[in-house]
Chain A
């Protein structure tokens, strides 16, 4: 008799409509999916919504679900698709580009240099990346998926993913120029020493 793995057993129970199995699935994968969604959207409420949708849809389609690789991989694809769907929907409503102005380093009062402002500056700089470039960079920064996985989700080649990340870094360097020295000083044990 074939020995079913823990994952297979969980899937069996889910297919049978065992809600306790759904609770287990939720508890096990929530933080993982939330991290990916938050990293992609940078919006807590939208991220929570997307994660809920993934579990909801999983449950609604439980009898038809076919996990080809691993459950984790399946869920990873689901959350990325959910986030992409939301981003596409937002685009339909033509959200204005947030041209958040970088404060003039010569005139900005010292109080604007609090870490909170800096992280907002960094996010604003990421927002200014071209759409595809920004998406790839954000997915990579979640540190929860490989280039190959990103390439699969977005239907691109891994080489394109690599190129876009290089492009993102180049633009971020240029954009954050005057602020980099401050960001640099925040690193306790740098990998690259000048």
Chain B
């Protein structure tokens, strides 16, 4: 029997028990060496550590949520009828003459979905919100952001949403109906892909980063076509759009709860923290900035990371207007 087969036998014993023959085999193997016994103990450690402990659920609450969904799926959508009335009116008007058609068509596009019937979802500060769109696309809203869209994309040439803030999009593929994000002066157009858009009204830039697929970004008169691993930043004051490379693993890393640093210089760690938490984390001492740092935080919390940095590098952490300043310190 191979080593892997013995690993499995150990597991089976812990999981459900062994047959007489299997017990005999295992006993003999364990007797052979201390290394085998050590292996057994380690497999047991892993067995215990990988036990599935599901979080507590309150079944009545889950049942209530389920019934709500069950009945919602069955019910008709009255709003749909309301929103289609307006376009129909303009469609009849468009049939009148060619000139009218052109003018009315423009109005048809504009008034297709009166803004009042649009769905608006906002997230609070320090809150991420997952939103499902009518076509099955998913949007993760970062804190303090707002997303608006029509309750149905039926009959629309484009799947359009408005964004103020930051969100990560996973767009369902539909080449016949482009997906368009309007975020302030920046517009993003895709067919089916995943990407992050950061367009906070109080910031001087819009930032689009692509994780998969292809994306067209346009702002004022500039456009850029991005593929996975690329990023475009639009600077509002200068009205310039610049494209650059972006590490895919870091696109929308604000969505995951964990943060890990793997033997990187402290200045790079500070840069990532600044980006992740939206605050300026600065290392004053240039020598310290080159020190190597490794750390793993299953729940990313800026305070926890700063406390750790304080301990590892013996730095002083000062709160500044824009974030934090690390002074003094030395490599461990």
Interface of B is mostly: helix
- Provide the residues of chain A in CB contact with B7, threshold 8 Å: 165-166, 169-170, 173
Please report the number of residue pairs spanning A and B whose Cβ atoms sit closer than 8 angstroms.
Answer: 181
Q: How far apart are the CA atoms of A158 and B51 in the complex, in Å?
A: 22
A108 near B294: Cβ-Cβ < 8 Å? yes
Q: How far apart are the CA atoms of A191 and B37 in the complex, in Å?
A: 11
B49 near A96: Cβ-Cβ < 8 Å? no
A187 near B45: Cβ-Cβ < 8 Å? yes
- Per-residue interface assignment for chain B, residues 113 to 140, with 1 indicating a CB less than 8 Å from any chain A CB and 0 otherwise: 0000000000000000010000000000
B4 near A96: Cβ-Cβ < 8 Å? no
A173 near B295: Cβ-Cβ < 8 Å? no
B57 near A34: Cβ-Cβ < 8 Å? yes
Number of interface residues of B (CB under 8 A): 65
Q: Does B157 contact A (CB under 8 A)?
A: no
Partner of B43, one of A93, A98, A163, A169: A169
- Provide the residues of chain A in CB contact with B66, threshold 8 Å: 26, 52, 55-56
- The interface-forming segment of A4-12, A74-82, A120-128 is A120-128
Chain A's closest residue to B65 (CB) is: A52
Q: Does A183 contact B (CB under 8 A)?
A: yes
Q: Does B55 contact A (CB under 8 A)?
A: yes
- Provide the residues of chain A in CB contact with B3, threshold 8 Å: 170
Q: Does A1 contact B (CB under 8 A)?
A: no
Interface residues on A, range: 35 or more
Q: Does B80 contact A (CB under 8 A)?
A: no
Chain A's closest residue to B262 (CB) is: A101
B52 near A109: Cβ-Cβ < 8 Å? no
- Provide the residues of chain B in CB contact with A30, threshold 8 Å: 57, 59, 62-63
B interface, CB within 8 angstroms of A: 2-8, 10-11, 13-15, 30, 34, 37-46, 48-52, 54-55, 57, 59, 62-63, 65-67, 69-70, 73, 130, 170, 194, 211-212, 228, 248-249, 251, 256, 258, 260-263, 294-296, 298-299, 308, 311-312, 332
